[in-house]
Amino acid sequence: MLVSTASPYPVITNGCARLVHDYQALMFPHYDMYLLLTRTDDWTPVRLFHQGQPVKGKLQILGLHALDFTFILFIGFKDNEFTRQLAELRPSFCLTDTYPHPDLPDGLFRGILSHRTVEEHSDLLLVGGSYDGEVFYPDRKSEELVLTVGRIHPDKNQLELVRNYRPAVFDQYGLPLYLAGGVGDLAYFGEVKRYIDGVAVASSIDPGDPLATGSWCSASGIAELCNRARLFVSASPKESFGMAMIEAMACGTTCVVNGDYRGFVASDLRPYVYGHITGPQGSVIELVVQALRHDVRIDGSRWAKKYAVSEMRDTLAQFIDERL
């Protein structure tokens, strides 16, 4: 069973929800996977899913115990009476962005999965995010747009990208910017929307119903956009990993970034992106212009394959099986 505050239902709205979906559907093919969705603030249980369908009842410890899970994997963790009882119920593991982490009690988990660490641990496995290699792969089309993917939210900093996009990029190179993703902050979307004209800047969001679930793109839809994109660009000042970037990279799209990508070893990532990866410097628009002016092309698809579910599956399964 997976336990997470991020749900892929009814649609996937962020990288964590994408990871939860892929872990359920692809990462553990030999297990019958359940997902326990919890509230973001206090991690109290909200709903149990089995193969995408809600399960009635079963939200208390006794009901969950009766399902006799082989193991429990927490995607993040908040220590309280319910989560601790749940973690002690069956062999439990936790995926976190960094280790050690103040939210993780010592000795509670059989093993920890983490994007990065500052100390060695015998029951720690370093893992990145993951993507579905059956969906995201090079299938290059005409390079007709610049793409950014993610929820419209101050954390993603799309306003910096759209504000001067027309004069700096579209008027010079004729490439429109496409914003793929739904609304994460309605007030912020109101600011971004002023620059969405359907010509220089377009979006998957229905301006008449910005909170509609149909604004969010499917994985196959994002892959198709990546393969049509001259550049993928992220204006986010920091990312715990950067799933959208890796998915674009898997499609062979040149990625322009300007933030702190703390889920990677800088020397490992640096050759495969254009821009800044240890913190923002200057303007992301300036980086886009430079990449186009100098015809920068970086195909990181081979390097990105190590983050494909198919490449990670056996290592992760062995790590867990050895600790059951």
Structure confidence at residue 127 (pLDDT)? 93
Structure confidence at residue 216 (pLDDT)? 96
- Dihedral sign, Cα of residue 81, residue 83, residue 86, residue 87: negative
Query: Rounded to a whole number, what is the distance in angstroms from the first to the last CA of the chain?
Result: 14
Structure confidence at residue 120 (pLDDT)? 83
Is-contact 172 285, C-beta < 8 A?
A: no
- Print pLDDT tens along the chain (324 aa): 999 999 999 999 999 999 999 999 999 999 999 999 999 999 999 999 998 899 998 899 999 999 999 999 999 999 999 999 999 999 999 999 999 999 999 999 999 999 999 888 889 999 988 999 999 999 999 999 999 999 999 999 999 999 999 999 999 999 999 999 999 999 999 999 999 999 999 999 999 999 999 999 999 999 999 999 999 999 999 998 999 999 999 999 999 999 999 989 999 999 999 999 999 999 999 999 999 999 999 999 999 999 999 999 999 999 999 999
Distance CA 123, CA 220 (A): 35
Is-contact 19 243, C-beta < 8 A?
A: yes
Distance CA 214, CA 203 (A): 12
How many other CB atoms are there within 10 angstroms of residue 223's CB atom? 22
Residues paired with 278 in a beta bridge? 260
Structure confidence at residue 8 (pLDDT)? 96
pTM for this predicted structure:
0.93
Q: In what order do the strands lie in the sheet with 34-38?
A: 53-55, 45-50, 34-38, 2-4, 72-75, 92-99, 111-117, 124-126
Among 237, 261, 238, residue whose Cα is nearest residue 249: 261
Q: Is 208 exposed, middle or buried (0-12, 13-18, 19+ CB in 10 A)?
A: exposed
Among 209, 147, 211, 208, residue whose Cα is nearest residue 179: 147
Q: What does the pLDDT look like over 2-55, one tens digit per residue?
A: 999 999 999 999 999 999 999 999 999 999 999 999 999 999 999 999 988 999
What are the distances in angstroms from CA 82 to CA 7, 59, 78, 324?
Answer: 19, 10, 10, 22
What are the distances in angstroms from CA 280 to CA 156, 258, 260?
Answer: 12, 5, 7
Distance CA 284, CA 273 (A): 13
Instruction: Assign 3-class secondary structure to 118-159.
Output: CCCCCCEEECCCCECCCCCCCCCCCCCEEEEECCECHHHCHH
Q: Looking at the chain, how many residues does it have?
A: 324
